[in-house]
Amino acid sequence: MITLYILFSIIVSIYYYFYMRHRSDGSINILYEHPNDLIKEGIKVKKIQFYSGKYLLTGYTYYLDTNLKHDGLILIYHGLGYGHAYLLNLIRRFVKANYVVFAYDQHGAALSEGPVVGDMTSSLRDAKSALNYIKTTPYLNELPLYVFGHSWGGYTALNSLNFKESNIKKVISVAGFDNEYWLARGYNPFFSLFLWPRLIFKHGKYAFFSAKKAFKKSDAKILYIQGEDDKIVLPKYAGYRFKKISNKRSNVEILLLPDKGHTPFISNEAQRRQNELYEKLGIISSRSGDYNLLYDYTLCSECDDIVVAQMIDFFKD
């Protein structure tokens, strides 16, 4: 039995290595906003760079230049498919609510270095580097620290609470998952059983990080949001499971939204447009297609006013 387990683990490791051997640069057929596009709206945009291991990561801080002290710093972790720029509509809302937003691209994504994404767990090293950058940067390290993450970023946000002395006060995780094992289990339970050896060999202690631990041990306030129609991170292994785990924790709120999908903070019309876009282009990370087709992603990312207001109220409270 042990020999068979080792054999299957090797096969799964090789398959997963090639499956995740790509960058997260979006599609050539999609027109994404650039961070500097926000400057014309009166938002201050400052480029930042820091190292995560051997890779130079690039991001931006966004804020309004007022005489009042900002209400806090929101660190943003993006999902798989592109860098943080797909969240610029949401970033606008946070900035206009008087927050400084610090958003960067994970290694292997958009503006940051790295030949490939590699896997989901690797984002924790980038997150640790980002938190260290904040700790050593004047003014940023004076503000209450809040975290927002979507999908892959939602996993990173929750698991950032497992870092020692993270100093994170509040976390919003949207469609985040427990860890890489639980994400894989949603797609293929048999496959997931043989994923552990690869994760442990490559990531050591980070392989054992889990949102479950954060829910049970952290005193930070946590808001978890997921659409019940999420087909990418299955609620059975995420939102519904988290609700059972955290039902006795007063610092945790689970919000499961009917008729919402993987990105529940966008409007229903934006979701319709996004579905239509993905049907035409296939997987968003695909770099094949008709170069003459170009879609404006801002139309697919218009915010749901009610959901975004709930998130801002959570940070304000």
**Residue ranges of domains in the chain:** 29-187+209-316
Secondary structure letter of residue 267 according to DSSP: -
Q: Cα(first)–Cα(last) distance of the chain, in Å?
A: 54
Half-sphere exposure of residue 223: CA atoms within 13 angstroms, side-chain side: 21
pLDDT in tens, the chain (317 residues): 788 888 878 887 887 777 788 899 887 778 889 999 999 999 999 999 999 999 999 999 999 987 778 999 999 999 998 999 999 999 999 999 999 999 999 999 999 999 999 888 999 999 999 999 999 999 999 999 999 999 999 999 999 999 988 899 999 999 999 998 888 888 888 888 888 888 888 889 999 999 999 998 899 999 999 999 999 999 999 999 999 988 889 999 999 999 999 999 999 999 999 888 877 776 444 444 454 567 788 888 999 999 999 999 999 98
The CATH number assigned to the domain with range 29-187+209-316 reads 3.40.50.1820
**Cα separation of 181 and 177, whole Å?**
9
Rg (CA), the chain: 19
Helices vs. strands in the chain: H and E counts, helices first: 11, 10
What are the angstrom distances between the C-alpha of 138 and each of 30, 71, 142, 158? 37, 16, 7, 25
| Predicted pLDDT at 62 | 98
pLDDT of residue 288: 47
Instruction: Say which DSSP state 303 is in.
Output: B
* Cut 0.85: pTM above it: yes
Amino acid at 42: G
